[in-house]
Amino acid sequence: MKRIAAYATAVLLGAFAAVPAHAQKKVTFGHQQVFDLAPVLLAQDKGFFAKHGIEVALKPIPLNSQNPAALEAGEVDIAMPTASVLLQAVNGGLDIVAVSGYTETVKDDSNFGIVVRPESNIKTPADFVGKKVGVPGLNAFLHVMFREWLTMKGVDWKKVEYVETQFPQMEGILKSGSVDAVVAIQPFMSRIIGTKTGELMSNFIRDMPAGMSITVFASKKAWADKNQDAIKAYRAGFDEGSAYAHANPDEARAIVAKFLKLPPPAVAAVSIPKFDSKLRDSNLAPWVSIMKSQGMIRGDVNLKNVIVP
């Protein structure tokens, strides 16, 4: 009997030892194939998310405009819509909220640009009239910003045709002549320029106000209400990943290059973006004004209801 009792005790102790002290909350993150993934990849690789009690699984979403649908369908818990996609979804009645800041515009930006096909003869903003321009998601950040940039330059953006295309396909669609220009992001922009498929016309984001949200982390409101601890953990892990990326830019570039299956030289020219989990009304307010002027949203948008504290 003593031997049986000792065996049972050993089995019980072994079972307790096999149970982790803190079970990891699983969070599925929907993403696009962009350099901005650096803090998330580093937070995974360095154990920052795990330290805060969450396990983040990555799920690709081809186009930014598809983020709200992926959230609504329950395919992902958190996604990375651009500010314009988020606000249009909210204005359209979807119960989606921003749970964290992500990236913001800066005045010395070199990661976004308008790249034109050499044969297109596009030299000035006015030359875009009647041309086809590839954008990574209709009504997403770069599409809306490009239209605002044309407006600032005195050009009617409605006289330009827009073609939705994923970043990895931009070089091919430009080379084929299917479009005359693309609104691109690093590292894809450098690759297009490096192969002489296209020429940089403008780092047009430099003409925009600094501090505007580019992308945010968003979720369904019901999920956010039930997972406040997971949201705080996600922000904390992301902030640590962001700090690590800025302190170790070469390592940040290397981990993104590996994830995106790009040669290291392709990301060498990428500047580390401004990452910030803090999200304020002032980051989104300019978008409301721009989107109203473009007829993308109606009425007022109460940003207090959009941003999770």
d(C-alpha 306, C-alpha 215), whole Å: 14
pLDDT at 182 over 60: yes
What mean pLDDT, rounded, does the chain reach?
A: 91
Give me the residues paired with residue 185 across strands.
112
d(C-alpha 258, C-alpha 243), whole Å: 20
* Mean pLDDT, rounded, for 206-223: 96
Query: Which tens digits make up the pLDDT trace of 50-90?
Result: 999 999 999 999 988 899 999 999 999 999 999 999 999 99
Looking at residue 22, its pLDDT comes to 54
Looking at residue 239, its pLDDT comes to 98
Check: CB of residue 265 under 8 Å from CB of residue 274: no
Query: Which tens digits make up the pLDDT trace of 104-145?
Result: 999 999 999 999 999 999 999 999 999 999 998 888 889 999
pLDDT at 248 over 90: yes
The fraction of the chain above a pLDDT of 90, given in percent, is: 81
- 267 pLDDT band, cuts 50/70/90, is confident
What does the DSSP assignment read for 105-158? Answer: --TT--SEEEEE-GGG---SGGGGTT-EEEESSTTSHHHHHHHHHHHHTT--GG
Give the sign of the dihedral formed by CA 40, CA 43, CA 49, CA 54: positive
Check: CB of residue 132 under 8 Å from CB of residue 163: yes
The fraction of the chain above a pLDDT of 70, given in percent, is: 93
- 1 pLDDT band, cuts 50/70/90, is very low
Q: 14: number of CA atoms within 13 Å, CB side? A: 6
Q: What is the helix (H) or strand (E) element at residue 250, kind and residue range?
A: helix 249-260
Q: Which two tokens stand for residue 13?
A: 């102790």
Lowest mean pLDDT among 6-10, 60-64, 95-99, 178-182: 6-10
Looking at residue 300, its pLDDT comes to 85
